[in-house]
Each structure stands twice: as structure tokens, then as C-alpha cells.
Structure 1
Amino acid sequence: MAFDPATLKFDMNGLIPAIAQDAASGEVLMMAWMNAEAVARTLATGRVTYWSRSRQAFWVKGESSGHVQRLVEMRVDCDRDCLLLLIEQQGPACHTNRRSCFYTAVRDGAEVEIMAPMV
């Protein structure tokens, strides 16, 4: 059965959350938004493309930083309202120069930084 992006459930802004996960390690790296065109571009090129809500523009991950995400597999959740992108990540995924955007833990009611920036 061919994949039809029109079957995805985008929010009222035409967006769907996309979670990027390292295909080899399983580490969750980041979450960003995609619209239908970003999904189509990602599938066509194999380079992950997101929709930047702040810039109102497409954002090809790594285009300016060199920290490219190559799509290995796209998965759709059971409700069709969230995507899981299994990727190969070059360099850090986070704009803070950390491997993952999820570098802050909440432990005993306090925020704890659990990951230093990459050197």
C-alpha cells in the first residue's frame, strides 16, 4: 500500500509533530514540526526538512550548520497525528550544540543539566 501524506492528521495550523530518533542508538534527539510539503520533501530527498514556525519557512536540518539528518525510516503513530523519524545524525541535533535537545532532566523538583555541549 502506498503512503498517502493526506491521511496524516495535521493540526489547525497544518502541522504535525515529528520526533527525530537516532536509528542506530535509539536516542531521542529532537522534536520539530512538519507540514505536508516538509513531509513530501523529506521523503523525496532523504534529507529531513522541517517547517520553522518562527521563520515561517522550510528548514532543511543541517543546511547551514552541517549537522545533517538523513532519513532512514519514517513511522506514523496509530492516531496518524505524530511522526517518528529514524535518522542518521551528523554532529549535534540541538542548536545549543548538544547531541540531543533533551539535555535537561527534572529530578526531585529541580532542573538538572545532564548533557554538556559537544566540543
Structure 2
Amino acid sequence: APASNSGKTTVATGLMAAFAARGLAVSPHKVGPDYIDPGYHSLATGRPGRNLDAYMCGTDLVAPLFAHGSAGCDLAVVEGVMGLYDGASGQGELASTAQVAKLLKAPVVLVVDASSQ
């Protein structure tokens, strides 16, 4: 998403719930230190929501933590944080959704609020 409040949590949680309703084991993840959204993810999937925080854990641990959390699942959904390139303040792309996607070699689905403001 290009910014916060564009519907990322609604879309990500909806996708997780839809996949789970089809009988798929979904591994839910959230970029950054947010502990509220992973609770929604857990309710949608029946599995623990996990954080992928490159700032707190370091970039070297993001992929192994993702692999551990995704073990035994059919697919994983990673909800981004803030805007796609918003990272740790003053530290470039560090801890941004873009950086985590690169570390995981994961595709990105951009959620955009197209309403008129």
C-alpha cells in the first residue's frame, strides 16, 4: 500500500479467511512490531499470527522466522506495514514492507484506497 489506512488489514485478513475456508492451512504474518493485526490473522486462520520485524530481529532472521512459521502450511500471507517503502525512520528501506518482500523473495499485492478524498 502507498500509505497507512488504505485497507491492508481488511484485505489481508479477508484473503486469509477465504483461503482457510477452502481448507488450506494458512500461515499469517505481519511486517513490523504490530501485535493487534496478528490477532485478527489468528482468528481468520486458526494459526498463530507472526511478526516479521527486520528492525528488532535483524534482516538475517526474517527468512528463517518466516520459514519456521510457515512450516506445514499450504501458503503464507504477509500483511505489510504503513506504505510499501516506509521503513525505520532515517534508515532507508530498513524494516519496510519492500525490504521484507525482497528478503522473502515474495510477490507484492498493492492495496490502494481509490476513494475520492
TM range (shorter): under 0.3
TM-score by length of 1: 0.24
Higher-helix-fraction structure: 2
Higher-strand-fraction structure: 1
Structure number with greater Rg is: 1
